[in-house]
Chains A and B, each alone.
Chain A
């Protein structure tokens, strides 16, 4: 199509809102003495990661854009730009987000990029902005290909993807307990996403949703936040640095070190890149599955409760 479809870069436009909201959340926490925690270096690292994410989008965004425009050139489909098409695109793109996010936790190559977002031991609005610099290298833009091939314009796809990220900003807070029941049932909320950031065995690999929590309920990855178990935020093995460069690249370095160690088969080397995080050729590390299994050996009464199935996974 020749008609120019033009959408604003909503993430850049939202920057002033992000700053104001962070100051408001911080004020709330300081005045009320509850509802979350802030620490200077942690917050600054998160914010620098966010800035770097925008910068990497400006620098490397043309790669994904070129790929999308290529698809747009070959597809005979064009759904136009009516409002209901944008809404449909938003919903389908959220399904796309669910799967990219799920791959991000289950394939180490994609995790190497997404791990950044989970590397803070805090959970506040700055954590939302702790975003990857290396998303382009995961090649997860291919998951957007079906949307463009069925006729959603690439600009629309990127626009709704930006809206999705903005939605997820406000849910990174401990200042909000629970939303109304109907809202918690359909939408991703602070409560659901706190679970996603928890390193507790119970909460690992749960709640991948972007905007609609229904995807997790549909695909069996939903775990509710239990009042009896507060999420412990961060990574299974927390970082010992605030250096943004190290935060951004540490898992890529880890993959490199693992696949280049001597004496491995080609299969082992491949698995160090694509197996779930924690996989090792000699079983010396723990995957989330093994962490859950170990937890159940030590706490058999948790078997069959949220986050743990009966079989002991």
Chain B
């Protein structure tokens, strides 16, 4: 097959499928409640039971306090990811915090938080020595 035909097929195919999925409403991010955030955490860290959960304003991110330390659960499209939050970097945006996990496969999470949450999340996520 000529390369140009392959290229058009591939680019057109990907774009077409993307538009189709978006139009039929399959781009919605997962939103958590306390129970589903807990389940999403335990799905990845069954050995680290949950002690406390705090949901972001849009319910797309949750701060988890576990027996192994603080962690985050967040929406990955319709699914979830969960990581222990060790040596994170935090920066502020107008509606909350960015948390950088120092991880190539889970680089940065945007959490929309109330001003009060910004303070509590900072307190939990920053290591004591910093």
Interface residues of A (CB under 8 A from B): 9, 12-13, 15-16, 18-19, 22-23, 26, 30, 37-44, 47-48, 51, 54, 58, 121-122, 126, 232, 234, 236-243, 246-247, 249-250, 253-254, 257, 294
User: Contact: A241 with B24, CB < 8 Å?
Assistant: no
Q: How far is the CA of A243 from the CA of B77 in the complex (A)?
A: 12
| Selected contact of A246 from candidates B17, B47, B105, CB within 8 Å | B105
| Selected contact of A234 from candidates B1, B79, B106, CB within 8 Å | B79
Q: Write out the residue numbers on chain A whose beta carbons fall within 8 Å of the beta carbon of B101.
A: 240
Q: Shortest distance in angstroms between B32's beta carbon and chain A's nearest beta carbon?
A: 15
Q: How far is the CA of A178 from the CA of B77 in the complex (A)?
A: 29
User: Contact: A40 with B27, CB < 8 Å?
Assistant: yes
| Selected contact of A42 from candidates B10, B79, B82, B106, CB within 8 Å | B79
User: Contact: B17 with A238, CB < 8 Å?
Assistant: no
Other than A19-B9, A47-B13, A122-B79, give 14 A-B pairs with Cβ distance below 8 A. Answer: A13-B1, A15-B6, A16-B9, A22-B17, A30-B24, A39-B77, A39-B79, A42-B77, A44-B21, A234-B79, A238-B82, A240-B76, A242-B77, A246-B105
User: Contact: B44 with A39, CB < 8 Å?
Assistant: no
| Selected contact of A238 from candidates B9, B26, B27, B44, CB within 8 Å | B44
Q: Write out the residue numbers on chain A whose beta carbons fall within 8 Å of the beta carbon of B80.
A: 238
| Selected contact of A240 from candidates B16, B17, B22, B105, CB within 8 Å | B105
Q: How far is the CA of A48 from the CA of B101 in the complex (A)?
A: 25
Chain A interface, >50% SS class: helix
Q: Is B109 an interface residue (CB 8 A)?
A: yes
User: Contact: A239 with B14, CB < 8 Å?
Assistant: no
Q: Is B83 an interface residue (CB 8 A)?
A: yes
User: Contact: B109 with A240, CB < 8 Å?
Assistant: yes
User: Contact: B17 with A23, CB < 8 Å?
Assistant: yes
User: Contact: A238 with B21, CB < 8 Å?
Assistant: no
User: Contact: B21 with A40, CB < 8 Å?
Assistant: yes
Q: Shortest distance in angstroms between A246's beta carbon and chain B's nearest beta carbon?
A: 6
User: Contact: B10 with A121, CB < 8 Å?
Assistant: no
User: Contact: B79 with A238, CB < 8 Å?
Assistant: yes
User: 23 pairs across A/B with beta carbons < 8 Å?
Assistant: A9-B1, A15-B6, A15-B10, A39-B78, A40-B18, A40-B21, A40-B22, A41-B77, A43-B18, A44-B14, A44-B21, A47-B14, A47-B18, A51-B10, A122-B78, A238-B44, A239-B105, A240-B76, A240-B81, A243-B107, A247-B105, A253-B104, A257-B104
Q: Is B74 an interface residue (CB 8 A)?
A: yes
Q: Shortest distance in angstroms between B47's beta carbon and chain A's nearest beta carbon?
A: 7
Q: Is B43 an interface residue (CB 8 A)?
A: yes
| Selected contact of B10 from candidates A39, A54, A236, CB within 8 Å | A54
| In the complex, residue of chain A having the shortest beta-carbon distance to the beta carbon of B13 | A19
Q: Is B48 an interface residue (CB 8 A)?
A: no
Q: How far is the CA of A150 from the CA of B112 in the complex (A)?
A: 62
Q: How far is the CA of A126 from the CA of B77 in the complex (A)?
A: 15
Q: Write out the residue numbers on chain A whose beta carbons fall within 8 Å of the beta carbon of B106.
A: 239-241
A250 with B17: in contact, given A12-B1, A238-B76 (CB under 8 Å)? no
| In the complex, residue of chain B having the shortest beta-carbon distance to the beta carbon of A201 | B46
Q: Write out the residue numbers on chain B whose beta carbons fall within 8 Å of the beta carbon of A18.
A: 13
Q: How far is the CA of A21 from the CA of B6 in the complex (A)?
A: 17
List CB contacts (< 8 Å) of B62-85 with chain A: 74, 76-83
User: Contact: B13 with A250, CB < 8 Å?
Assistant: no
Q: How far is the CA of A313 from the CA of B115 in the complex (A)?
A: 49
Q: Write out the residue numbers on chain B whose beta carbons fall within 8 Å of the beta carbon of A48.
A: 14
Interface centre among A13, A43, A242 (most CB of B within 10 A): A43
Q: How far is the CA of A19 from the CA of B3 in the complex (A)?
A: 17
| In the complex, residue of chain B having the shortest beta-carbon distance to the beta carbon of A295 | B46
